[in-house]
Chains A and B, each alone.
Chain A
Amino acid sequence: MKRISLLTVFCVFCAAFVYGEDRYLEVRAKRFAYTPSIIKVNKGDNVRIRLISEDVAHGLYIDGYEIEISAIPGMDGHLTFIADKSGKFMFRCSVTCGEFHPYMVGYLKVGINWNLYAGAFLILLLGIGSLTAALKANENSHKKLFGVIPLSWRYELTKFKPVRALLKSRWFPFTFILFNLFVFVIILIANFVGGYSTGNYNFGVMMVWILWWFLLMTFLVPLVGRSWCMICPFPIFGDWLQRGKLISVGRQKSWGLNKRWPNKWRNLWPLVILFFLSTWFSGFFTVRPLAGGVFLVLIIGSAIVISVIYGKRTFCLFVCPVSGFQGLYANFSACEVRVKNPEICKDHKPKTCVVGNEKGYGCPWMELPYDMNRNTYCGMCMECFKTCPYDNIALNVRPFGTDLVAERKHTDDRYKRRGLDEAFKALTMMGIFLVFFRAYQTPSAHFKDMIRGTTLKGFLTYIAEATVVDFLVIPIIFLLFVFLSKKASGNKEVSLKQAFVNFSYCFVPLGIAIWAAFSINIILANGSYLLHVFSDPFAWGWNLFGTAKVPWSPFLTGVMPYLQVLIILVGLAFTLDYGFKFSHQTYANLKEAKKGWVPMLVFLLAVTIFCLWLFIG
């Protein structure tokens, strides 16, 4: 009996696999959602879709299959195709239908999702490999990345004369800032001229929330750290006010009130809160030109105001909402500004990198360049290259992530840095990812309505939910595993808080990978709008580069799931390698570190598989 039923199941399975059925589906499209939003068919099915629009003109484009139809009320669209590729495919609206148009999506699920199983298998394989390596680790293992690359390896870029000359020139990075200023003036004009219209045809919205965000999360921060801060045009007004000179060296001390930012807020906490607050309104400023313009003006305005009240780059350090994750994630980057020989600095008085001289300003980011060992608060403004009379500052290429295991400094303790502030920055970035993913890459119409504030009640519910998830649910789940880790290690001395903080840095490489995987979906699907906005930035009918008429054309949507899996696997590899190093730092000896690492490893693998499932499952 059992054999027969198994045989039947097998036959049905094969039949479904080989002979497709005819499937007829009616899909109703209404602003920013499809019903049904998830379509499941078997592989090989002959699928016919009738697209019915219930309000305005909509379309339906299927990622991977690269086919498209459109419909208007009263005139349905018909699409026939053979579902010959298995996996999950996003389908999206292809006719601009409103401000959330780029995020009007649904899922087509075909047959068995081998990609998901293969991805999960690779994640587990990586986990087992990493665990084996961790269990074999000896007292010196923590000095190498993946057991091969020494963490102390550095390649100094400034040993080349032209590079050093460039960094010492006052025109660097000033020229780049000016160019960026020009771009942002155009962005602002476009934002305000664009007003109420949809974001996907607006230069401001596309440049900032699609192109900039993608470049930042995928290249700039992981590779070069706070390189955006180096060329960001927003502080130029405040700098000019404080210094009295635009490019040359003027006053070292601001003529403004020059107040000191309170000690207890000289850490990442203000940025954790401010970035979280600004994400509440992402459903407005990332889709509506006018809201985006207001958001940018608020940032520029507060940069100016803060520069008059407080000294130096207080705004960049403790107020700019996007500064926090760049600072934290910059610790992972493959680039650093560091002192070459600390002995030279010891006898150097006064320390010109801090107080400044006629060549440049004392560190605008209020760091002590001669004592700096982490990237969080280094804005890469390159002033210390100019002020150091001994050319003792280097721009280094280094292995990814070495700052994550850097020793603590007295300034860290003084300002309560590198404690729960960075831990919560890392954890809230995961929560914010969940919110963004739900709003912009899932079919959930209900959640989209909440985040774009169709009703005040819905909007407030969304805020409450996001707060609870970011500051309670995620930290509590994480704390539970930290607790298990501590129990497993058998260590009694280390505090739960210290273990919590130490292990939270696992979410730096993992967070970067997940945000990169998220951003790559948005840029590949919607990057072609950029060609339009480059040629017609103000929607006035310009055609500067002849690309204004290029239609919306998603790019490489079939390859995207593989790219996402690859990015996640690379991120996980770093997470697990560094994770064990954090365990080694947290617990007293190697034996405890190995035991304590197991619960953490299980947790991280679970989180990664969950994220993989979100993306491709």
Chain B
Amino acid sequence: MERREIIAIALFLLATLGTIFGVFAVEKIRRNKLYDLELIARAPEHGNWLPQEFTVSYDTEVTMLIRNIDTATHGFAIPQLNVAAREIKAGEAKTVTFTPTQRGTFDFMCTVWCSDRHLEMRGKITVE
């Protein structure tokens, strides 16, 4: 095969498969390095928080990635631990970092009026 053809095919594979694998590999490494937890924000009728319950360790810094994959703005707060991300717009991702200094199970919830069932958009965090 000609050299030109080989270069073209290599570039083609780079643009397609290379991009796909590259994007997902970079994201996997990035997430493992940067975040301890990932939380997906959705209104209750679209599936609610995912996960709705999770556990963190006492006195250890936690970095959470909160992704809003929904159609309306959401917020995030754990009032008893004094943690909040005021406004996470639809299609946006925000990072929250905190060190839990109390043991027990606490409520977390959405803080922006996001749907008629906004008040049901809550979950539980356990600190061990």
B-binding residues in A (CB < 8 A): 53, 55-57, 72-74, 95-99, 101, 170, 174, 178-179, 181-182, 185-186, 189, 194-198, 200-202, 236, 245-248, 536, 538-541
Contacts and interface: CB of A to CB of B under 8 A. Distances in A.
A159 B12 CA distance: 32
B38 to A, nearest CB: 10
From DSSP, what is the main secondary structure of chain B's interface residues?
mixed
Contacts of B2: 248
Contact of B90 (A73, A179, A197, A236): A197
Given A248-B2, A539-B93, A541-B94, A196 B71 contact: yes
A329 B49 CA distance: 48
Contact of B5 (A98, A195, A247): A247
Q: How large is the interface on B (under 10, 10 to 19, 20 to 34, 35 or more residues)?
A: 35 or more
Contact of B73 (A95, A99, A181, A538): A95
B27 interface: yes
B128 interface: no
A247 B2 CA distance: 10
B70 A196 contact: yes
A201 B5 contact: no
A98 B72 contact: yes
5 contacts: A96-B72, A97-B71, A189-B23, A248-B4, A248-B8
Given A72-B113, A540-B67, A248 B5 contact: yes
Nearest to B67: A539
B31 to A, nearest CB: 8
A101 B114 CA distance: 14
Contacts of A197: 68-71, 90-91
Contacts of B5: 245-248
B27 to A, nearest CB: 6
A198 B73 CA distance: 10
Given A170-B4, A178-B11, A181-B12, A541 B91 contact: no
Nearest to B16: A185
Nearest to B91: A201
A55 B9 CA distance: 52
Contacts of A202: 91
B112 A196 contact: no
B116 A96 contact: no
Given A178-B15, A245-B5, A541 B95 contact: yes
Contacts of B92: 201, 536, 539
A186 B46 contact: no
Given A178-B15, A181-B12, A181-B15, A194 B69 contact: yes
B73 A200 contact: no
A344 to B, nearest CB: 29
A74 B118 CA distance: 13
Contact of A246 (B12, B46, B71, B73): B12
A96 B29 CA distance: 30
Contacts of B89: 95-96, 201
A57 B73 contact: yes
A541 B71 contact: no
Contacts of A541: 65, 67, 93-95
B71 A99 contact: yes
Contacts of B115: 55-56
Contact of B15 (A95, A185, A539): A185
B14 to A, nearest CB: 8
Contacts of A196: 46, 69-71
B113 A247 contact: no
B19 interface: yes
Given A197-B69, A538-B27, A246 B15 contact: no
